[in-house]
Chain A
């Protein structure tokens, strides 16, 4: 009986985690854009991509801080790689202006 109960509890916890992830993470994923400007809320992915590219081109410390926040919040692998490329661009520039 004990294993059965344990499985049920585990399934419940996994389901709850998936629910929380599904509900909370999408809203958090876009919040870094408000660091660019408070009005930049709920931007679609294409716009966020362009913002990341521009932050990489500009490359100021202000941009770098936002990119680091974007790296924490963006979940998709393509967005992550884009953010990291932009961060590399920033760091390269800071090394050799």
Chain B
């Protein structure tokens, strides 16, 4: 670069020029403002002597200013040339300067509008010429003073929202900040808090479109102080924005705006405000939640209390103000004071004036309920409509609700005031009874068309009815009541007759029903008690056969009992007084119990007929008459006697058919030998022989052996050394019952010598009933040399006239012991006084006497020892012959040693059971162990049955001690017991008949003939009756003994007990199983218990004797 060229000076980085001329002046001095005009003036002089040519001047153009065009002047003259300027790179030529000539140059600058504060503007001028190097002026520096400008129209805040903003809508808050100043603004801060009623939307803040972290929530709140621009240059702007939601609920018309502020380091805070938006927030009661509820059916009845509730639910977003509820109650619906409730709480009626209640405000989402009650009044007509209206009002709106009701008025017949009443509480049968039916319509309307139906109960007939003021007429069908006004009582009288038969104290009633169309009202029943009683109008009997009754034959008698009373004749029974010859064998349509016939209950106005069968057991010989009497008893009647009934009888004895004379030996006899004759007589007729005379026909081939005549084993005294058979009077026997066997035995000695082959026969003539006789011939004996045998027999109950005493009466059951012909107490009586008992007991007595020690025989009268010595050994040594000739049934027995007897008694005493159970144990303990003459099979059958019975009953004996033990069929019988009993009965029916031997010394025996007829009749039941029934016990009872024999004494108390048992079980057999068990457990039979007590007492006495 040349030294006088101006190009290259004032360039950035070039070295500063030496200030050689200090003529540069700048106006204004030192300070300049943006946009201001700065005038620089430079002057110099050619102090030399030569003209300076090619002078060029250049002014510096600092950054921050601009040259003002055409402002260059030379000596106040504008620089020529359009394009010349002192600020050009090469300056501008000003021509030549002559010596001592001066020049003054000026140029104008303008400071930039945007220039940072403090900027230094250095001004300098330089001049050069062709001859001179560059001479620089002084440097004048100006300091620029400028500042930023944020507040202005470009800086604003806005709130953007939908057209009709409402709660919940999204709004945008946006602020634009513009620096309209000359310098930059530093640390520009925007404060834009979230407007009221709005909530900042998280992470929605943006600065210049970029999100900013906002962990602390609203980033533009006062406390946040977020700097949105560290430096905002002039003419620059920044946009800040975030989003928020409008709060809900919110009042309608709420205004929202944004108030904020902007500041920077250079610019103090100034406020900004946005325009307001108006939030639309309506009240809404139109939803289903708001309702009017009337708690009743559409049809209501007068008097009904109706509760009405208006439910106001503000489902809008705004708060409803001035809310009120008004009820329009129609006529006929009367408000109930004190019934107003708000949300369930009662409210003073003063707050409900004009049926309107002011609620006040209801915020959004709140619900309120207003309820009142009203009563339906009595309408003038039925089916009256009621329009109930409720109005819900609030500021700016109203909603109306309505409900239509219909009032139904009906007649009513309340049960309390509509009933049937009887005039008297007790009436007799066949009496008229009056009932009064009370009718009262206590409803709200007149009743038409109701009908009254009368319902007579049992025993009420002949109904008659009368309405008020009318005449009584027969009631046949429901009567029409016509018009029934409300609250006017009507009385209707009904008369009825109590018709028998009717039980005493029967309650009879009459009911009524008020029929209304298809429905009916029960008026109830009124009852009364009827007194009624039976009455026996006829009590008779009739003999159904005109023939005379023969022994062992039966006759049927028809009994007729008429109950013409009005009640049932209960427990009707007749006690029949039968003569001893008659036995009540069976009854039809009546149950017999000994001598009593039970007819059960006989209905009123009926005749009960029963048929009984009487059997004539024995009768006097010839024709006779037996009288039968009876008396009828029953509940509620006095005893009524039957007329006496005469029963003609007829009986005859007969000995022709079964009389036999036989001898021992039977075919041959040796001379001098004895022949034993036995005349076997049997009364084959049906009547007793009052007297039978037996006469023997003497023979010259035989001689009577004195003292050998016996009748049924009893010796008969000879008369003057000869048998009574050959006396003039004969052997007279009296009172020989039918079927009674008589064996007359005597011995004859064959005269000797007698030639062999001589026939010997014997004859006897029988005479009875004065006019009847029969001769009996023995088989013919042939005389040979053979021995003869003697035999003796026992007979049945007969007596020998004048020689044999009357049969001893049967001992009383209560008498424990009666002494028989014990050797030391009663020696064998003489034949005239010898007892001849009719029963087997007495035979046993005789056997006992016959088995007495020989010393008793020695005490017998003289002339009798042969007979005595023959009888006793015959019984002992030939029991089969003796038994087969006299026993009528198998003789069963059980023997007790003292300790066994004591144990049995202890067990019976330990029982302590109620009812009839004790008798089962008694049967088991008294049950025979065998029979006389039993074969091994029968013996085993007895043992088996005893074992089975013992196993069953001993278990029961123990179990009965268990508290509240329930009796079952298994406790009474098991299969072994049944099988054993069946086998035993089968064998017994074919068992031999034999008389017993006396029990061993110290042993007690229960024994007697087994009732085979009973067994035979009952044995089929053993196959059919279920286990645990009464049948086996009835069978077992028939096997019990009849006598108790001990120590030469005997008692027949057991026989009575057995009879009672058989009779009791014959009744129990007819009962169903359960009933049988119940009777066993709960019922007592006094007679049976007494009989058992007698037996036990007798056994106990024997036990004491044994112990002693």
Q: Which A residues fall within an 8 A CB radius of B?
A: 33, 36-37, 39-40, 43, 47, 50-51, 53-55, 57-60, 62-63, 93, 96-97
Other-chain contact of B907, A36, A50, A57 (Cβ < 8 Å) = A57
**What is the distance, in angstroms, from B851's C-beta to the closest C-beta of chain A?**
27
Q: Closest residue to B912 on the A side, CB-wise?
A: A50
Q: Closest residue to A59 on the B side, CB-wise?
A: B954
Other-chain contact of B954, A51, A60, A96, A97 (Cβ < 8 Å) = A60
- Please, what's the 1-or-0 string for B951-965, where 1 marks a CB less than 8 Å from any CB in chain A? 100110111011101
With A57-B906, A57-B907: A62-B954 Cβ-Cβ less than 8 Å: yes
Q: Which A residues touch B962, using CB under 8 A?
A: 33, 36-37, 39-40, 43, 47, 51
Contact A58 B961 (CB under 8 A): no
Q: Closest residue to B951 on the A side, CB-wise?
A: A60
Q: Which 7 A-B pairs have the closest CB atoms?
A: A58-B954, A54-B958, A40-B962, A50-B961, A60-B954, A57-B907, A37-B959
CA distance A82 to B491 in the complex (A): 83
Contact B965 A39 (CB under 8 A): yes
With A57-B907, A58-B907: A47-B958 Cβ-Cβ less than 8 Å: no
B2 within 8 A of A: no
B353 within 8 A of A: no
CA distance A94 to B451 in the complex (A): 89
CA distance A55 to B955 in the complex (A): 9
CA distance A58 to B966 in the complex (A): 20
Other-chain contact of A63, B899, B903, B958, B966 (Cβ < 8 Å) = B958
Contact B957 A58 (CB under 8 A): yes
Q: Which B residues touch A39, using CB under 8 A?
A: 962, 965-966
Q: Which A residues touch B951, using CB under 8 A?
A: 60, 62
Q: Which B residues touch A43, using CB under 8 A?
A: 962-963
Q: Residue among A58, A63, A96 with the most chain B CB within 10 A?
A: A58
CA distance A62 to B966 in the complex (A): 20
Contact A55 B963 (CB under 8 A): no
CA distance A43 to B961 in the complex (A): 11
Other-chain contact of B958, A51, A93, A96, A97 (Cβ < 8 Å) = A51
Contact A58 B958 (CB under 8 A): yes
B950 within 8 A of A: yes
CA distance A62 to B900 in the complex (A): 19
CA distance A37 to B955 in the complex (A): 9
Q: Residue among A59, A60, A63 with the most chain B CB within 10 A?
A: A60
Q: Which A residues touch B966, using CB under 8 A?
A: 39
**What is the distance, in angstroms, from B590's C-beta to the closest C-beta of chain A?**
42
CA distance A47 to B959 in the complex (A): 11
**What is the distance, in angstroms, from A59's C-beta to the closest C-beta of chain B?**
8
**What is the distance, in angstroms, from A55's C-beta to the closest C-beta of chain B?**
6
Q: Which A residues touch B354, using CB under 8 A?
A: none
CA distance A33 to B965 in the complex (A): 13
CA distance A86 to B466 in the complex (A): 86
**What is the distance, in angstroms, from B924's C-beta to the closest C-beta of chain A?**
11
Q: Closest residue to A41 on the B side, CB-wise?
A: B962
With A36-B958, A60-B951: A47-B907 Cβ-Cβ less than 8 Å: no
Q: Which A residues touch B961, using CB under 8 A?
A: 47, 50-51, 54
Q: Closest residue to B908 on the A side, CB-wise?
A: A57
Contact A63 B954 (CB under 8 A): yes
CA distance A39 to B966 in the complex (A): 10
B345 within 8 A of A: no
Contact A47 B963 (CB under 8 A): yes
CA distance A96 to B906 in the complex (A): 17
With A37-B959, A40-B962: A53-B954 Cβ-Cβ less than 8 Å: no
CA distance A93 to B966 in the complex (A): 30
| Complex A-B: 8 CB contacts under 8 Å | A39-B962, A40-B962, A54-B961, A58-B907, A58-B957, A59-B954, A60-B954, A63-B958
B910 within 8 A of A: yes
Other-chain contact of B910, A47, A54, A62, A93 (Cβ < 8 Å) = A54
Other-chain contact of B957, A47, A57, A93 (Cβ < 8 Å) = A57
Q: Which B residues touch A62, using CB under 8 A?
A: 951, 954-955
**What is the distance, in angstroms, from A53's C-beta to the closest C-beta of chain B?**
7
Q: Which B residues touch A37, using CB under 8 A?
A: 959, 962, 965
Q: Which B residues touch A59, using CB under 8 A?
A: 954
Q: Closest residue to B960 on the A side, CB-wise?
A: A54
CA distance A93 to B897 in the complex (A): 12
Q: Which B residues touch A97, using CB under 8 A?
A: 900
**What is the distance, in angstroms, from B926's C-beta to the closest C-beta of chain A?**
17
CA distance A76 to B951 in the complex (A): 30
CA distance A97 to B907 in the complex (A): 15
Q: Which B residues touch A36, using CB under 8 A?
A: 958-959, 962
Q: Which B residues touch A63, using CB under 8 A?
A: 954, 958
Q: Which B residues touch A40, using CB under 8 A?
A: 959, 962
Residues 933 to 963 of chain B near chain A (Cβ within 8 Å): 950-951, 954-955, 957-959, 961-963
Q: Residue among B910, B962, B963 with the most chain A CB within 10 A?
A: B962
CA distance A37 to B954 in the complex (A): 13
- Apart from A51-B961, A51-B962, A96-B899: 13 A-B pairs, beta carbons within 8 A: A33-B962, A39-B965, A47-B962, A47-B963, A51-B958, A54-B957, A57-B903, A58-B955, A60-B950, A60-B954, A62-B951, A63-B954, A97-B900
Q: Which B residues touch A96, using CB under 8 A?
A: 899
Q: Closest residue to B971 on the A side, CB-wise?
A: A37
- Please, what's the 1-or-0 string for B888-911, where 1 marks a CB less than 8 Å from any CB in chain A? 000000000001100100110010
Residues 953 to 987 of chain B near chain A (Cβ within 8 Å): 954-955, 957-959, 961-963, 965-966
Q: Closest residue to B954 on the A side, CB-wise?
A: A58
Q: Which A residues touch B903, using CB under 8 A?
A: 57, 93
Q: Closest residue to A39 on the B side, CB-wise?
A: B962
Q: Closest residue to B907 on the A side, CB-wise?
A: A57
Q: Which B residues touch A54, using CB under 8 A?
A: 910, 957-958, 961
CA distance A53 to B966 in the complex (A): 21
CA distance A31 to B951 in the complex (A): 22
CA distance A97 to B896 in the complex (A): 10
Q: Closest residue to A54 on the B side, CB-wise?
A: B958
Q: Which A residues touch B910, using CB under 8 A?
A: 53-54, 57
**What is the distance, in angstroms, from B1093's C-beta to the closest C-beta of chain A?**
20
Q: Which A residues touch B900, using CB under 8 A?
A: 97
Q: Which B residues touch A53, using CB under 8 A?
A: 910
Q: Which A residues touch B899, using CB under 8 A?
A: 96
**What is the distance, in angstroms, from B182's C-beta to the closest C-beta of chain A?**
106
Q: Which B residues touch A47, using CB under 8 A?
A: 961-963
Q: Which B residues touch A60, using CB under 8 A?
A: 950-951, 954-955
Q: Which B residues touch A58, using CB under 8 A?
A: 907, 954-955, 957-958
CA distance A27 to B982 in the complex (A): 44
Q: Which A residues touch B957, using CB under 8 A?
A: 54, 57-58
CA distance A62 to B950 in the complex (A): 11
CA distance A55 to B900 in the complex (A): 16
CA distance A97 to B894 in the complex (A): 13
CA distance A62 to B959 in the complex (A): 12
**What is the distance, in angstroms, from B991's C-beta to the closest C-beta of chain A?**
24
Q: Closest residue to B966 on the A side, CB-wise?
A: A39
**What is the distance, in angstroms, from A30's C-beta to the closest C-beta of chain B?**
12
CA distance A55 to B958 in the complex (A): 6
CA distance A30 to B177 in the complex (A): 107
Q: Which B residues touch A50, using CB under 8 A?
A: 961
**What is the distance, in angstroms, from B175's C-beta to the closest C-beta of chain A?**
90
Q: Which A residues touch B963, using CB under 8 A?
A: 43, 47
Q: Closest residue to B897 on the A side, CB-wise?
A: A96
Q: Closest residue to A92 on the B side, CB-wise?
A: B899
CA distance A63 to B961 in the complex (A): 14
**What is the distance, in angstroms, from A36's C-beta to the closest C-beta of chain B?**
6
Q: Closest residue to B956 on the A side, CB-wise?
A: A58
Q: Which A residues touch B907, using CB under 8 A?
A: 57-58
**What is the distance, in angstroms, from A48's C-beta to the closest C-beta of chain B?**
9
CA distance A63 to B958 in the complex (A): 9
**What is the distance, in angstroms, from B942's C-beta to the closest C-beta of chain A?**
14
CA distance A54 to B903 in the complex (A): 11
CA distance A80 to B1006 in the complex (A): 37
**What is the distance, in angstroms, from B969's C-beta to the closest C-beta of chain A?**
15
Q: Which A residues touch B950, using CB under 8 A?
A: 60
